[in-house]
Homo-oligomer: A and B are copies of this chain.
Amino acid sequence: MARILITSGPTRQYLDPVRYLTNGSSGRMGKALAQAALDLGHEVVIITGPVNVDYPAAAKIIPIISTEELLAAAREEFARCDGVIGAAAPCDYRPLQVETHKIAKNGQPLLLQLVETPDVIATLGSEKRPDQWVVGFALETDDARFRAITKLEKKHCDLIVLNGPTAMDAGDNDIELLDREGEVILSAHGSKDEVAKQIVQVIQAKLIAHFQLLAKE
């Protein structure tokens, strides 16, 4: 049995007390992955942004709002986990300045300076112990496979799940799972529950079983 951290859902980066940047991540893939991992007898910790899904009651749930909160919670929880699946879609830009009062419209354009938020999976990947594994997600619209492999390397992932923007807030998903050699080791299409089951089966065979074998040697 392994203890698996799953990040799920979107994050929000506020401009002022009302407005924020985000994306349409629904948390459904995170929920499906959690259920698939629980079904194989693993322990699951979910760190989730604001979503409207009901996560499995057997999982430990940690709600967060911003990418910075996601990172802080993920670093703390990952220390006690065997691996992480980064199914969240953290908002990757934040306003450089956050206004404490609601920005009033004045008829003029508003120039918003955005800076990148910390990369949660890259941080966990660079800090992971030799006995820990990291599975990332890449959502790409162009040069998808090339970009996914670049991300896998840069973020020190063991595997990366490649999907497109149509996956967001949808019931179905269409993914490729790539390994460190850049090989497509799984192509899956169907409901998020079915796709998640296949992804977790590969993680079980390639990562969990592998690391458990190493631990015994």
User: Which of B20, B110, B114 is A22 in contact with, Cβ under 8 Å?
Assistant: B20
A17 interface hit (Cβ, 8 Å): yes
The B-contacting residues of A in range 95-114, CB under 8 angstroms, are: 96, 101-102, 104-105, 107, 109-114
The complex places the Cα of A140 from the Cα of B147 at a distance, in Å, of 43
Q: A52-B52, A168-B18 are in contact. Are A92 and B114 (CB under 8 A)?
A: no
The complex places the Cα of A114 from the Cα of B105 at a distance, in Å, of 11
User: Which of B21, B52, B96, B102 is A165 in contact with, Cβ under 8 Å?
Assistant: B102
Question: Are B114 and A112 in touch, CB under 8 angstroms?
Answer: yes
Question: Are B101 and A109 in touch, CB under 8 angstroms?
Answer: no
Nearest residue (CB) in B for A95 is B112
The B-contacting residues of A in range 32-89, CB under 8 angstroms, are: 50, 52, 89
A142 interface hit (Cβ, 8 Å): yes
Q: A93-B110, A96-B109 are in contact. Are A139 and B19 (CB under 8 A)?
A: no
Q: A109-B115, A113-B111, A141-B101 are in contact. Are A21 and B18 (CB under 8 A)?
A: no
User: Hey, which chain B residues are within 8 Å of A115, CB to CB?
Assistant: 109-110
A91 interface hit (Cβ, 8 Å): yes
A116 interface hit (Cβ, 8 Å): yes
The B-contacting residues of A in range 195-216, CB under 8 angstroms, are: none
User: Hey, which chain B residues are within 8 Å of A139, CB to CB?
Assistant: 18, 102
A187 interface hit (Cβ, 8 Å): no
Show 11 A/B contacts (Cβ-Cβ < 8 Å), sorted by A: A17-B141, A18-B165, A19-B21, A19-B23, A19-B91, A101-B142, A102-B140, A104-B147, A105-B116, A109-B116, A110-B113
